[in-house]
Amino acid sequence: MRLGNRPLVGRATGLFAVVFLAYGVGLSLTWRSLDATVGPAFFPAAGVSVAAMLLVRRALWPAVLAAIALAELLIDVHYGEPVHRIVGYVVANCLVPVIGAGVVLRWCRGRPDLRRRHDFTAFLLGGCLVGPLAGGLLGGWAGLREGGASWLAGALYWAAGDGIGVLVVATPILLWPVQRHILSRRRWETATVLAVTAALSVAAFSLGAPPAMLILPVLAWAAFRLDMIGAALAGLVIAVLANIMTRYGRGIFVNVALAVPTRVALTQLFLAVILVIALLIAQEVAGRTVAVQARESERRERLRLESLSGLAQRLSAALTPDDIGRAVVDEVLTEAGATAVNLGVISAGGQTLDWVVMAGYPPSVVAEYAGGVAIAEQTVATDAARTGRPVVVRSAVEYIHRYPAQANWVRSSGAETVVGWPLIDDRTPIGAVLLVWSESQPLDAAQLAYVSAVAAMVTQALVRARVYAAEDARATVLQAAVLPDSPAEVKGLELCVVYEPADVFEGLGGDWYDTLPLPGGRTYLAVGDVVGHGLPAVEDMAQLRSAGRALAHQGLSPGRVLAELNGFTRHASLGKFATMVVAITEPDGRMLAYASAGHPPPLVRRNRTDEVVRLDAASGPVLGPMPDADFPEAAVSIECGDILLMYTDGLVERRGLDIDEGIARAVKAVAGWGPDTCLTGICRDLPEILAPRPRADDVCLLAVRFD
């Protein structure tokens, strides 16, 4: 029930009108069945009142109670009830929702979600049992008629009718906000289920056939196909028809040789049992469906990670745009399940989007678009390349609506879901990657993060390929592309990096650092070292750094990042092994998770105590040699002003000096840093203090002060 943002009085007025009308209809249905042979099987008005109180905040409950009281008064007067009985009915029928809804809200700690077993149980106990029993204690007395049954029998009869009413009426009302989309997607099936339910119910009530044999199968159909809301609506149809049929002496148990109250009780029990069974079946089916979907999501995530790992490996060796295009086709089109893929780059004049590769399309589509697309033309790929923003189209209908001029290729290729992602280098779009699926895709955060990671990796590869054509500059440019002079700014962190190669003339080595803001406010920090020097070491470093960024962007923990990189290094690295330490800060910046692969331990200088802590609680083997190695991870608390130092072994290891002694010297040097010391200055001085030239190894360090 959406009441908008109108003033409280306006919302209360609207609520009053809705409850008054719905409650009045339910109460009238009950009154019209009072002279039946068996009597009313349920009291639908109770379901209206309980559902209303569960859906609105307590400040609006008086409007609900006023609507109940007025509807009860007017209809009871119309049917000639005496004053004392009307008063009893009003009080009892107000008591049912107040107590029932109050108990449910307390047990559920808020509005119940009947899809959850705990909330559904609380609804059954509180709304369908406790509330009706409380109302029945008063209503049983008010409903006593001359020569009628005892007060206790009347109370139980009242409670049973209210309980069934709450079950069959309140359940679909409460499920409507969260499950109506199921009915919208299957309108014809919903109508068929309800029609068949009505027909079989009438047959069961009229012909004396076993009701369970006719009704339970269609309830199971509703539960399996339409979830809980389908089963609830089918149950409502059955209950209404039971009430109407009893009006004409056609109740379910009308021919059973039992007293009228007993037959009524059996009718109520039958309705309650079959509906609860159907709802529980729907819950179980939904739970199993969710489990299957979770396993499928996990499988897709595993395939995406494998695809990213393979793509990183292929792109690291790609020297030309054609190499990059083949890698994208093999890893994204073949391994990740896309139906078709385009990789386009903006031409030198900026007038066209030229396809590097176009794969997975029918020949007619390839023939029409193989020459590229004018950048001004309205398509998913050109919009992404022109604006620098992703374009997501979730269905073919949406695509044709947004891009009517491109409808032919969508129909020809059978495209259902299309995503265009810009390739951005230094804030400038250089192209776009287009992914097409023939089946509808969820396009959840994980899938979009995968597309983003693919685009980021392809962008880096294209940038490298452009400069790699210049043989004399390719190694230098490659290293500069993956090792910027200064790290990207990260909110809440003061960052300083230093990289000094052992060969000051060539300047090429295998050490690297990385900082990357991650989704959710986390930050990825890494320092690594591949074996060797020169161009092979730079290539290894570049692909490991790129793969590490992509894996971290997917949300993997430090240990998982290293585990994935371990297999990658074994098969893709020219040097066949590398060391690396990974740390990820939490959004609040007060916890730091880390893991190490054969790397010297990072150091944390505590601002409050000047203590220097070695982060050596999560050490694993070097990357590459051990295919099934485990990489444990640990976490450490961080306070404002603390400084993290990550470094390569060139800072602490030298000829004639044991590495443990070198680390001890580093601890002593870091302990002498003051809280107001310039981070850039002390970081640039540290290599000369601990590892003065000439050096046999590169030195790389990353320092982070937590603000």
Give all domains of the chain, ordered by start, each with its CATH number: 8-290 (no CATH), 317-464 (3.30.450.40), 474-706 (3.60.40.10)
pLDDT at 318: 83
Query: Within 10 A of 534 (CB to CB), how many other CB atoms are there?
Result: 13
Question: What is the band of 596 on the pLDDT scale with cuts at 50, 70, 90?
Answer: very high
Residue 219 to residue 231: CA distance in whole angstroms: 6
Tokens of 141: 């007395």
How confident is the model at residue 146, as a pLDDT?
A: 41
Of 74-83, 241-250, 357-366, 421-430, minimum mean pLDDT range: 241-250
Half-sphere exposure of 533 (CA within 13 A, CB side): 14
Mean pLDDT across the stretch 319-324? 86
Question: pLDDT higher for 90 or 646?
Answer: 646
Report the Cα–Cα distance between both ends of the chain, in Å, rounded.
46
pLDDT at 222: 82
Place 211 in a pLDDT band, splitting at 50, 70 and 90. Answer: low
635, with CB counted inside 10 A (0-12, 13-18, 19+), is middle
Check residue 526 and give its pLDDT.
96
Report which of 373, 369, 397 is spatially closest to residue 383, judged by C-alpha positions: 373
241 confidence band (pLDDT: 50, 70, 90): confident
Distance of alpha carbon 569 from its chain centroid, rounded?
32
Tell me the pLDDT band of 3, cut-offs 50, 70 and 90: very low
Cα distance between residue 54 and residue 385, in whole Å: 49
Q: Which residue has the higher pLDDT, 230 or 474?
A: 230
pLDDT level of residue 336 (50, 70, 90 thresholds): low
Secondary structure (H, E, C), 371-416: CCEECCCCCHHHHHHHHCCCEEECCHHHHHHHCHHHHHHHHHHCCC
Give the integer Cα–Cα distance in Å for 692 and 651.
9
Q: Widest CA span of the chain, in angstroms?
A: 112
Closest by CA position to 422, among listed 392, 385, 386 = 385
pLDDT attached to residue 38: 44
pLDDT score of 34: 56
Helix axes 211-247, 187-207, angle to 10 degrees: 80
Question: What share of the chain has pLDDT > 70, as a percent?
Answer: 86
CA distance 545 to 541: 6
Distance in angstroms (rounded) separating the CA atoms of residues 101 and 104 = 5
pLDDT at 615: 97
Amino acid at 649: D
pLDDT band, very low/low/confident/very high, at 1 (cuts 50, 70, 90): very low
Q: What's the pLDDT score for residue 246?
A: 64
Exposed/middle/buried for residue 399 (C-beta within 10 Å: 0-12, 13-18, 19+): buried
pLDDT at 667: 95
Confidence tier at 599 by pLDDT (50, 70, 90): very high
- In one letter, which amino acid is 263? R
Q: Give the model's confidence band at 472: pLDDT under 50 very low, under 70 low, under 90 confident, else very high.
A: very low
Residue type, 173: I
The answer on pLDDT for 506 being more than 70 is no
Please give the average per-residue pLDDT across 274-287, as a whole number.
81
Residue count of the chain: 707
| Element of type H or E holding 654 | none
Instruction: Specify the pLDDT at position 707.
Output: 83
CB contact set of 625 (below 8 Å; sequence gap of 6+): 570, 576, 577
Q: What are the angstrom distances between the C-alpha of 662 and each of 212, 497, 530, 695?
A: 81, 20, 20, 14
Give pLDDT, residue 679.
Answer: 92
> 358-386, pLDDT tens digit by residue?
988 888 888 888 888 999 999 999 999 99
DSSP string, 207-239: H---HHHHHHHHHHHHHHHHHHHHHHHHHHHHH
**Has residue 504 got a pLDDT over 70?**
no
* Per-residue pLDDT, 505: 46
Asked whether the predicted pLDDT for residue 572 surpasses 70, the reply is yes
- % residues pLDDT > 90 (the chain): 32
416-430 residue pLDDT tens: 899 999 999 888 889
Helix (H, G, I), strand (E, B) or coil at 637: strand
Integer Cα distance of 42 and 545 in angstroms: 68
Q: What is the pLDDT of residue 470?
A: 52
Residue 541 predicted with pLDDT over 60: yes
Distance CA 441, CA 416 (A): 8
Output the average pLDDT for the chain: 84
DSSP state of 59: G
Predicted local distance difference test score (pLDDT) of residue 44? 86
Dihedral of CA 547/549/554/556: which sign? positive
β partners of residue 605: 612, 643
For residue 497, the SS3 value is: strand
For residues 646-660, average pLDDT = 89
- Say what the pLDDT of residue 4 is: 47
| Amino acid in the structure at residue 305 | L
- Pick the more confident residue, 468 or 691: 691
Taking the C-alpha atoms of residue 113 and residue 228, their distance in angstroms, rounded to an integer, is 11
* Angstrom distance (rounded) from CA 119 to CA 633: 37
**Cα–Cα nearest to 325, from 358, 364, 351, 285:** 358
For 670-698, letters b (16+ CB in 10 Å) and e give: beebeeeeeeeebbeebbeebbeeebebb
